[in-house]
Amino acid sequence: MIIGHIAAMSGETDPDARMSVPFARMNGLGNEIVVADLRGSKTRISPQAARALAGHEATRFDQIMAIHDPRLDGTDALIRIINRDGSEAEACGNGTRCVVQALGSENGQRDFTFETRAGIIIAHEADDGMITVDMGRPRFGWEDIPLAEEFRDTRAIELQIGPIDAPVLHSPSVASMGNPHAIFWVKNDVWSYDLERFGPVLEHHPIFPERANISIAQVTASDSLTLRTWERGVGLTLACGSAACAAAVSAARTGRTDRAVTVTVPGGDLLIHWREDDKVMMTGPATWMWSGRLDPATGDFVRDAQEEAEPA
Ligand SMILES: N[C@H](CCC[C@H](N)C(=O)O)C(=O)O
């Protein structure tokens, strides 16, 4: 290519070659997701590139779902999940649905098996476009979350914020969906709590050696709850699928709800079913917005020429 030749001659890297990774900006119920296609390449998206993309208005994301070639027999892909701050997460429910929709749109495939740091994740897209992800089994042991000290009963641990004698939030349930979650149960509307202020303090509390995703949940019926989440490595988000799963299993485990619940998050509703075989099934939508190509080293990107889809 002539431009590449001139760029090489002048010591510049060919910008077109650097923008080697196709990506789609997608929406998982308001969770802002970048799905990046690194199949056939040994490259990874660098933490610097992630932070650069996060800092740009157009590509601002909660998670990047980086699709890599499979490493294990029987899996379709290895997925690396990158938070806004460049850290890696083990699980991302909403992002997984976006990956299913992105890959499914290539050839009509409806069933997928992915390797993630949280283990093997199975997902299925139904005729109506709703996507169900088998998020695996929750874990409740204090070392599994992990917590910094032993708590025999993780249905409610000793942790509070606010005045000692009148805490604003206290006694969260904790659970791992591969990634760490704390859920504070509240009586009032979840919007009446200043999660933006408490979230960062709790995310970094020394009780959570790997930090934690922090949610507040109000049980509204035996089959529904409302949830807001401060995500580890991200901040306030409109939806967090793994938090919805952690909240649903914790609600059932503490007798607050049944095992099948609708979890209403700021971006909409997720259906969560903690099956008798201990697997947690999460069902919800995924929406394609626009696509482009990015440089996995720097986060520079170009948009493809096309119309942007209307947000769902
Ligand atoms: N948005 C994601 C969760 C990302 C979790 C991440 N913030 C972490 O564990 O570090 C979801 O839908 O499950």
Tell me: the pLDDT tens digits for 262-281?
999 999 999 999 999 999 99
Alpha-carbon span 87 to 90, nearest angstrom: 10
The pLDDT of residue 261 is above 70 = yes
The pLDDT of residue 27 is above 60 = yes
Domain 2-136+291-302 has CATH 3.40.50.720: no
Work out the mean pLDDT of the chain and round it to a whole number. Answer: 94
Atom of ligand 1 nearest to the CA of 87: 10
* Mean pLDDT of the region 271-297: 97
Active-site residue flag, 240: yes
The pLDDT of residue 5 is above 80 = no
pLDDT of residue 10: 43
Question: Is the pTM above the cut of 0.95?
Answer: no
Q: Is 84 in the pocket of ligand 1 (CB under 6 A)?
A: no
Helix, coil or strand: residue 132: strand
Contacts of 86 (CB under 8 A, 6+ apart): 47, 48, 50, 51, 233
Atom of ligand 1 nearest to the CA of 33: 1
Q: Is 83 in the pocket of ligand 1 (CB under 6 A)?
A: yes
pLDDT of residue 310: 64
Nearest CA to ligand 1 atom 2: 92
Atom of ligand 1 nearest to the CA of 88: 10
Query: To test the ligand 1 pocket, which listed residue (32, 65, 231, 245) has its Cβ within 8 A of the most ligand atoms?
Result: 231
Percent of the chain having pLDDT more than 70? 93
Q: Is 284 in the pocket of ligand 1 (CB under 6 A)?
A: no
* Mean pLDDT of the region 226-230: 98
pLDDT of residue 17: 74
pLDDT of residue 307: 67
* Mean pLDDT of the region 250-258: 98
Top pLDDT among 14 and 108 is at 108
* CA 303 vs CA 66, 103, 291: distances in Å: 18, 19, 6
* Mean pLDDT of the region 145-164: 97
Domain extents in the chain: 2-136+291-302, 160-278
* Mean pLDDT of the region 225-248: 98
pLDDT of residue 222: 98
Query: Does 179 carry a binding-site annotation?
Result: yes
Tell me: the pLDDT tens digits for 86-106?
999 999 999 999 999 999 999
**Catalytic member of 92, 169, 261, 282:** 92
CATH class entry, domain 160-278 = alpha beta
Query: To test the ligand 1 pocket, which listed residue (64, 92, 238) has its Cβ within 8 A of the most ligand atoms?
Result: 92
> Token match 């493809």: residue?
304
Active-site residue flag, 98: no
176 CA distance to ligand 1 middle (Å): 11
Atom of ligand 1 nearest to the CA of 28: 12
> To 5 degrees, how large is the angle CA 90–CA 55–CA 59?
75
Tell me, yes or no, if the two domains 2-136+291-302 and 160-278 fold the same way: yes
Tell me: the pLDDT tens digits for 179-210?
999 999 999 999 999 999 999 999 999 999 99
Contacts of 36 (CB under 8 A, 6+ apart): 21, 22, 23, 45, 64, 65, 66, 67, 294, 296
Name the β-bridge partners of 114.
77, 121
Q: Is 94 in the pocket of ligand 1 (CB under 6 A)?
A: yes
Query: Does 213 carry a binding-site annotation?
Result: yes
The pLDDT of residue 311 is above 70 = no
Tell me: the pLDDT tens digits for 45-86?
999 999 999 999 999 999 999 999 999 999 999 999 999 999
ipTM of model over 0.90: yes
